[in-house]
């Protein structure tokens, strides 16, 4: 018996003439956190929506989508009953207050009143919203709204939690609080699928990250491997590359890689000392020497220029 | 692997969930939502009773004018409330509040959602014609208890107009377009469906058109219920309503699905 919760093979989706997702395949194992990383318009949200039946995939022969053994094309209800979905927008019901929002969704999930009340009380406490239970939605801050949307997605005790940019636009405190909760849920055996722009988020909570761009997979691995395989260990960022000490060029070029963007030049190398030597003449404010992170992998993979979809 | 038996809510639970959402929103402003349905017929009847009925002395289909008009208003109130609910109401939920987007992430299908809308609009039709019934009964314009059945006619009238409103909504791109529907379709229906004067008084050439109007059939049934006189012809009116709901409802679901699922 395999322990895959989601198996997607050769997924395609076109809107009119635009291909949103092309030949995408991936597998999400039970009790892990799988992250989609990609610029705006990469097709991340489309993939999420296909999984729970909000978007219908293209009808290709070799394509298959399997979530808990069900195909969203013909059994969306089974999948939605087993999953919790946090969509990108905080689409709470403005005409109801906090607790009414949760009560409504408890009904939609078919919970009886007693179970619902218990679950709501627990979730308000879990997401630190108990003090807000009677508040109107318009009175809530962005962080409160997000947490309420997450609470709503957890009402049915989902085996799979799908989160589309759960922490975008939130302050660091709330972001860390949400990460903590996601860790905890994963420990309890919830499989998590999320999309994000935050490299740190992907690095910290994902067991596996799929970087996509323009509807296609660029790379997929665990975060540590992505770093190891696709980018040098250190980066020197400078705004005025002409001030750098220029040693013997030939030899230097063997060990560094230079990326020029409009304002900033980034010099990548596995040899920290070499980068230090390069920057020796610069003052502290003129350069930034740091460890490479997932963002460098990401930008290297998806390019630094914007395309029209972003 | 097909894992962990999902506990999918039953169809009735799902439809009730949608209905409950609207009920909850409606009743959370109970005073401002539930008072007007009683005031409106009161104003209308006061206007007619104090002024107009002095001049309209003829009976219409055997009824005094205020009885004739009153029994018609039972249905127009159901028509208007269901129409508002499923045009402006549905459009706002669909495009501005994005209520449906999040509901569709819970175990609901688009069909469940739209049928839930129809059931809710029908319930409002029931309630609004009940409100008119109360006013008519208080002023002794219609007699009880047989008239108590009339809110059920309001229910099917609400369902019928909600399907039409949903179909219109499926075409509408900006909310202002609904003005055409209200002025161009519902207002004529108000005047030419046997509410204000009998259909039989229409010129012979136009009369068949009145039979096409859904409201004509509702009004005919409602009036029969109020005076407690039924004829076999009413079965045709009933059949019209059932077919209308099925056919228009079907197209409304098909078209709205395209707007909700990409």
CA–CA distance, A271 with A267 (Å, rounded to integer): 11
Distance (Å) from the C-alpha of residue A133 to the closest C-alpha of chain B? 16
Q: Match 């078209």 to its residue by tokens.
A: B255
User: CA A103 to CA A126: how far, in whole Å?
Assistant: 16
Distance CA A104, CA A83 (A): 17
Q: What is the pTM of this model?
A: 0.90
Instruction: From chain A, pick out residues whose CB is under 8 angstroms from the CB of B7.
Output: 81, 110
- Does residue B75 or residue A3 have the better pLDDT? B75
Q: Is the pLDDT of residue B3 over 60?
A: no
Q: Which CATH class is domain A4-92+152-228?
A: alpha beta
How far CA B55 is from CA of B39, B68, B197, in Å, comes to 24, 15, 14
Q: How far apart are CA B86 and CA B93, in angstroms?
A: 10
Q: Please give the average per-residue pLDDT across A200-228, as a whole number.
A: 90
Spatial separation of the C-alpha atoms in residues B52 and A154, rounded to whole Å: 61
Closest CA to A69 of A21, A154, A1: A1
Chain B residues close to A55, C-beta within 8 Å = 261-262
Residues 6+ positions from B247 with CB-CB distance below 8 Å = none
What confidence tier does A249 reach under pLDDT thresholds 50, 70, 90?
low
CA distance A284 to A162: 43
Higher pLDDT, B212 or B56: B212
Average pLDDT over residues A136-142: 94
Q: Are A222 and A209 in contact (CB under 8 A)?
A: yes
Burial degree of A17 (CB within 10 A; 0-12, 13-18, 19+): exposed
Closest CA to B260 of B159, B121, B113, B118: B113
- DSSP at B96: I
The pLDDT score that the predictor gives to residue A253 is 66
Q: Is B13 on the interface with A (CB under 8 A)?
A: yes
> Position of tokens 């935050």?
A198
Closest in A78, A82, A107 to B17, CB measured: A107
Partner-chain contact B17 A104, CB within 8 Å: yes
Q: How far is A201 from chain B (nearest CA, A)?
A: 24
Q: Is the pLDDT of residue B190 over 60?
A: yes
Determine, for residues B97 and A94 on separate chains, whether the beta-carbon distance falls below 8 Å: yes
pLDDT reported for residue A305: 60
**B227, two tokens:** 């005076």
DSSP-derived pairing of the beta strands A4-15 and A191-196:
unpaired
Whether B158 shows a pLDDT value over 70: the answer reads: yes
For the packed helices B150-171 and B110-138, what is the interaxial angle rounded to 10 degrees?
140
Q: Which residue of A has its CA nearest to B100?
A: A91
Query: Distance, in angstroms, between A208 CA and closest chain B CA?
Result: 21
Q: Where are the domains of chain A?
A: 4-92+152-228, 232-291
pLDDT over 60 (residue B172): yes
How does residue A230 score in pLDDT terms, banded at 50, 70 and 90? Answer: confident
Per-residue b/e over A223-239, b at no fewer than 16 CB within 10 Å? beebbeebbbebbbbbe
Residue A1 is predicted with a pLDDT of 41
Q: Where are the domains of chain B?
A: 69-260
Query: Nearest to residue B115, comparing CAs of B75, B162, B175, B79?
Result: B162
Taking CA atoms, B35 is separated from A302, B40, B129, in Å, by 59, 9, 13
Residues near A147 by beta carbon (within 8 Å), at least 6 away in sequence: A127, A128, A129, A174, A177, A178
Q: What is the pLDDT of residue A121?
A: 97
β-pair partners for A26 = A8
d(CA B138, CA A103): 38
Per DSSP, what are the bridge partners of residue A35? A194, A209
User: Across all residues in chain B, what is the average pLDDT?
Assistant: 93
């Amino acid at each position: 018996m395999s322990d895959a919760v989601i198996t997607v093979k050769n997924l395609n989706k076109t809107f009119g003439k635009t291909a949103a997702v092309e030949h995408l395949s991936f597998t999400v194992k039970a009790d892990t956190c799988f992250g989609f990383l990609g610029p705006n318009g990469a097709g991340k949200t489309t993939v999420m929506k296909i999984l729970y039946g909000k978007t219908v995939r293209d009808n290709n022969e070799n394509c298959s989508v399997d979530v808990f053994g069900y195909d969203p094309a013909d059994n969306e209800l089974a999948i939605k009953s087993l999953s919790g979905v946090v969509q990108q927008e905080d689409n709470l019901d403005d005409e109801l207050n906090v607790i009414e929002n949760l009560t409504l969704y408890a009904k939609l999930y078919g919970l009886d009143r007693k179970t619902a009340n218990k679950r709501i009380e627990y979730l308000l406490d879990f997401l630190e919203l108990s003090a807000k239970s009677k508040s109107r939605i318009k009175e809530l801050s962005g962080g409160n709204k997000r947490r309420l949307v997450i609470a709503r997605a957890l009402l049915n005790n989902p085996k799979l939690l799908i989160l589309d940019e759960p922490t975008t636009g939130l302050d660091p405190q709330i972001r860390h609080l949400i990460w903590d909760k996601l860790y905890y849920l994963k420990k309890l055996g919830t499989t998590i699928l999320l999309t994000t722009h935050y490299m740190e988020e992907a690095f910290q909570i994902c067991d596996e990250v799929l970087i996509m761009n323009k509807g296609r997979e660029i790379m997929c691995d665990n975060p540590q491997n992505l770093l190891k395989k696709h980018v040098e260990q250190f980066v020197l960022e400078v705004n005025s590359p002409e001030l750098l000490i220029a040693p013997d060029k030939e030899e230097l070029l063997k060990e560094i890689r230079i990326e020029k963007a409009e304002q900033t030049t980034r010099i990548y190398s596995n040899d920290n000392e070499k980068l230090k030597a390069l920057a020796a003449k610069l003052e502290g404010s003129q350069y930034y020497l740091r460890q490479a992170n997932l963002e460098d992998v990401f930008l290297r993979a998806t390019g630094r220029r914007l395309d029209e979809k972003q | 692997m097909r894992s962990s038996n999902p506990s999918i809510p039953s169809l009735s639970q799902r439809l009730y969930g949608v209905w409950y959402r609207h009920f909850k929103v409606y009743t959370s402003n109970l005073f401002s939502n539930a008072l007007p349905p009683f005031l409106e017929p009161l104003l209308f009847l006061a206007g007619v009773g104090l002024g107009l009925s002095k001049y309209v002395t003829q009976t219409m289909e055997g009824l005094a004018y205020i009885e004739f008009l009153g029994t018609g208003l039972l249905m127009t109130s159901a028509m208007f409330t269901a129409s508002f609910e499923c045009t402006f109401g549905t459009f706002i939920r669909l495009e501005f509040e994005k209520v449906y987007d999040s509901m569709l992430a819970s175990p609901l299908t688009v069909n469940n959602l739209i049928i839930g809308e129809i059931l809710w609009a029908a319930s409002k039709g029931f309630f609004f014609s009940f409100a008119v019934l109360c006013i008519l009964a208080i002023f002794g314009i219609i007699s009880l208890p047989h008239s108590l059945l009339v809110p059920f006619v309001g229910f099917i009238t609400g369902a019928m107009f909600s399907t039409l409103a949903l179909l219109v909504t499926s075409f509408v791109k900006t909310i202002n377009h609904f003005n055409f529907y209200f002025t161009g379709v519902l207002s004529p229906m108000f005047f030419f469906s046997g509410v204000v004067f009998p259909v039989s008084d229409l010129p012979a050439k136009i009369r068949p058109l009145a039979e096409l109007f859904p409201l004509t059939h509702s009004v005919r049934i409602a009036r029969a219920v109020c005076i407690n006189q039924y004829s076999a012809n009413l079965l045709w009116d009933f059949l019209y309503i059932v077919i209308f709901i099925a056919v228009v409802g079907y197209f409304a679901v098909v078209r709205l699905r395209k707007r909700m699922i990409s």
